[in-house]
């Protein structure tokens, strides 16, 4: 499960969730709950930064900035466990590929 799938699942748990025209997502900050009384205003959001999803609150008193994994850990433990499991599976897959390359190089007696 990649980060975008986890973000979509997390969206059902956040208030005032919506996608903007620029491809980012806005919501009520789950840390400070700024603008809780207004219907449409949001002060936080998720955006893509160098291939990973990050969270940022723009309220002056909060200014929370964190990777998606930290938001999941703080507010959706079950999704955080899914995130950790997908990271473990991904690292195992890479490790198996590395072992296959190493075995090939040894068999062919190639230099590094």
Q: What phi and psi values does residue 66 have, to the nearest 5 degrees?
A: -160, 155
Report the pLDDT value the prediction gives residue 88, as an integer from 0 to 100. Answer: 78
* Residue 32, SS3 per DSSP: coil
Cα separation, 68 vs 46, in Å, equals 8
Domain limits for position 73: 3-86
pLDDT digits over 47-62, tens only?
998 888 999 999 888 9
Task: Give, in order, the Cα–Cα distances in Å from 81 to each of 6, 69, 84.
Answer: 11, 10, 5
The per-residue pLDDT of the chain, averaged, comes to: 82
Cα separation, 92 vs 59, in Å, equals 40
Asked whether residue 7 is assigned to any structural domain, the reply reads yes
Of residues 77, 58, 53, 54, the one with CA closest to residue 66:
54
Tokens of 102: 């190493």
Asked whether residue 44 is assigned to any structural domain, the reply reads yes
Asked whether residue 16 is assigned to any structural domain, the reply reads yes
Least confident interval from 3-7, 68-72, 83-87, 88-92: 88-92
Asked whether residue 108 is assigned to any structural domain, the reply reads no
Counted domains in the chain: 1
């Amino acid at each position: 499960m990649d980060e975008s799938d986890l973000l979509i699942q997390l969206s059902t748990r956040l208030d005032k969730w919506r996608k903007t025209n620029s491809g980012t997502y806005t919501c009520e900050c789950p840390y400070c709950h700024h603008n809780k009384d207004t219907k449409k205003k949001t002060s936080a959001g998720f955006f893509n930064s160098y291939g990973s999803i990050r969270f940022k609150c723009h309220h002056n008193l909060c200014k929370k900035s964190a990777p998606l994994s930290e938001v999941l850990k703080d507010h959706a433990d079950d999704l955080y466990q899914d995130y950790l499991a997908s990271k473990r599976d991904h690292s195992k897959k890479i490790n198996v590929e590395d072992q296959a390359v190493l075995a090939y190089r040894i068999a062919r007696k190639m230099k590094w």
